[in-house]
Structures are given as structure tokens and as C-alpha cells.
Amino acid sequence: MNADLLIPIIITLIGAATPILIAALGELVVEKSGVLNLGVEGMMLIGAVVAFAVTYHTGNPWLAILCAAIAASASSMIFAFLTLSLSSSQVATGLALTIFGTGFSALFGQAYTGKPIEIFRSVFPTELATDPFWRLIFGHSPLVYFSLLLVFAVWWFLNKSRAGLILRAVGENDFSAHSIGYSVIGVRYAAVAFGGAMAGIAGSCFPLLLTPQWAEKLTAGRGWIALALVVFAAWRPFRLLAGAYLFGLVMTIELYTKASGSMGLLPSEFWAALPYLATIGVLVLISLRRSGNSAAPACLGKPFMPGQ
């Protein structure tokens, strides 16, 4: 395989993995605090449609990313209020958030169907992207570099900072954290807001990085893959990076197989379903390997009610 073909494949792989990586890192922080938010897909769709609309009207991708993060974070606060303040079921509320995000994006996006926008291209000089090797380093959207920096930032926050230690303490033993004076609900509100913002930025990757044209359900289930990846990575940021690029590779194989017409005896629907089959396979393998020995935070999904 020559460089003229290999470089585009690698660039496509990185682009496909970026929104999954950003959304999964946000969900990792949320789950480390002891909250399970299954609304990632819905928040990504909200971020995607808001980013598309802002870019279409202003032409400013930076503003679009900011607005997508704010919109998705605001929607996550609905989830936080219902689950943290009113102690509703985190699973049911997260699923409701996904349904809400899907419906909101479909309704709000009707006015933009079929209308194109500009892709958020590299901020480096175009001369650096002419050579295939330098294109691999400097030819990406700022969202790609942001996702890579976010991996290191989340790892440092969780393992080296005092705030990260508090967040992990809340996720492992909320009553002990509460007894020494930490606000369990406050920490979890902040974690959910961060996870929502990251889901919004991940959603903005679809119109700004991958598909510069609005279509209903643009994220195509990538939020569910991000949720599975958190489990696959055992709640570790660098494993999450490897897992996201693994799924990006599976998606890239699907795209290039379809484009080349070399699907063989397998129908096109199989290749479209391949990333999600891989997600199911990963979850099955994890459950078999970890039976009774999960690396999940001890308080994950459990409501905190200090008065009881």
C-alpha cells in the first residue's frame, strides 16, 4: 500500500475516532463521579444541530463549537436536576435525554436539511499539507488536536490534581466524601456539566469535521459506542484513546470497502453494522473477562441520599 492511499486512510480513521473519543472522555469523568448518563447520543445530536446552525448563519466554527458545548451542557443539567436533586432513575432519565435530543435535533434541523457549510479545516499553513507526511501531522482540524490534548488533560486531572482526587472519592464512596465535608451533589453536577459540554463538542465534529451537510440522526449511534468504550477502556483515558482509534479503524474499513465496491459476498448492510457489532462484542468480552471484578466506580448509578 503506497503513501498516497495510506495517508488518506489514516486521516479518515482519525476523523472518525475524534467525536467518539471526546464524548467518551466526557462520559468517563461523569462516571468517575458515580453518575451514569446514558444521554450521550442525545447531547451529541443537540451539539451537532446547534453547531451546524451557528456555522451556517455566522460562518464562525469557533463560535459554533462554543454554542454546541453550552447547549449540550444545558441539556445535561436537566438530567442532573432530575437524577441528583430529585433522585430519579439515572438509566431511565438518560434514555429520556437521548430521546429528547433526537427529537429536538430532528425538529430544529428541518430548516437546514440539504444546506451545506464549510468544514473546519486545519489552522496551519496549507503549504504544510502538500507533502503526505506533513499532512498527517498538520493537516487535521483543531478538533482532532483538542481530542488528543483532552486525553492528557483528563488523565492529569483524575490522577494528579486534588479536584480529581475528590471526584474519584465521590464516585467510590459518596458517604465518606460527604462525611469529611465535600459536596457530593455539587461535584456530580460539575461532572455532568463537563460531560455534557464534551458531548456537545463531540456532536459539533459531525458537521464541522465529517459531514458538512445536515441530516437527521447525523451522529448515527456514535454516542452509544462512546458509552461502550468507557467500559472497554476500564475507565482509563489512554485505553480510551486506543479503543476510540480501534473503532475508527473499523468505521474506516467500512467506508473504504463500500467505496471500492469490494464487499464480496457480504451485503452493504453488514459493513454499516460492523462498528455496532464490534461494540456488542467488546461488551460481551469485557463482561466475561471481568465477571465479579469490575473496575467501575463503586457508586456508579447509585443515588446519593444523605438523609437516609
Three-class SS string for 46-95?
A: HHHHHHHHHHHHHCCHHHHHHHHHHHHHHHHHHHHHHHHHCCCCHHHHHH
The phi-psi region of residue 2 (left if phi > 0; otherwise alpha if psi is between -120 and 50; otherwise beta) is beta
Dihedral sign for Cα atoms in the order 135, 141, 147, 153: positive
* pLDDT over 70 at 215, yes or no: yes
Whether residue 246 is predicted with pLDDT greater than 60 in this model: the reply is: yes
Q: Look at residue 86 and tell me whether its pLDDT is greater than 70.
A: yes
Q: What pLDDT, in 10s, does the model give residues 133-163? A: 777 777 788 999 999 999 999 999 999 999 9
**55 and 117 in contact (C-beta within 8 Å)?**
yes
Handedness of CA 181, 182, 185, 189 (dihedral sign): positive
Q: Is 272 exposed, middle or buried (0-12, 13-18, 19+ CB in 10 A)?
A: middle
Q: How many CB atoms lie within 10 A of CB 47?
A: 38
Domains of the chain: 3-289 (1.10.3470)
Does the structure show a pLDDT above 70 at 238? yes
Of residues 302 and 80, the one with the higher pLDDT is 80
Q: Which residues pair with 213 in a beta bridge?
A: 116
Residue with more model confidence, 129 or 142: 142
Amino acid letter for position 30:
V
CA–CA distances in Å: residue 135 to residues 131, 241, 258: 6, 21, 25
Return phi, psi of residue 214, to 5°.
-80, 140
pLDDT band at 186 (very low <50, low <70, confident <90, very high): very high
- The pLDDT-based confidence of 212 (bands split at 50, 70, 90) is confident
Question: What is the reported pLDDT for 34?
Answer: 93
Residue 298 has pLDDT above 90, yes or no: no
pLDDT tens digits for 31-69?
A: 999 999 999 999 999 999 999 999 999 989 999 999 999
Going by C-alpha positions, the residue among 190, 220, 273 that lies closest to residue 105 is: 220
Cβ atoms of 36 and 223 within 8 Å: the answer is no
Nine cell digits for residue 39: 444521554
Angle formed at CA 233 by CA 230 and CA 239, multiple of 5 degrees: 125
pLDDT of residue 140: 83
Check pLDDT > 60 for residue 305: yes
Please determine, for residue 84, whether its predicted confidence score (pLDDT) is greater than 90.
yes
Beta bridge mates, 116: 213
Closest to 238 in 3D by CA, of 163, 136, 156, 144: 156
Return the pLDDT at 52.
Answer: 95
pLDDT in tens, 253-292: 777 766 666 555 566 667 677 777 777 776 666 556 544 5
